Amino acid sequence: MECEKEKNKKFCNCTYSCGKKGKCCECLRHHLQNRELPACCFPKDVEKTYNRGFEKFAELVEENKI
């Protein structure tokens, strides 16, 4: 399958500069290995904190913010 990197970038809200931007499969694999979710799973204000852990995501779900 061919990566649609430029198309993916349009939907990526990640503010961190890295080589994975637009490469969703690489980004997801990286974050899951670190018990995290990628930026696109979080609201913009939370994404900016770079706290992308499973626990933070669960906290947001519990607070009905996601």
d(CA 31, CA 9): 17
pLDDT in tens, 10-66: 999 999 988 999 999 999 999 999 999 999 999 999 999 999 999 999 999 999 999
Domain boundaries, the chain: 36-66
Q: pLDDT value at position 43?
A: 95
Q: pLDDT value at position 7?
A: 95
pLDDT at 1 over 90: no
Q: pLDDT value at position 51?
A: 97
Opening angle at CA 66, ends 37 and 5, nearest 5: 45
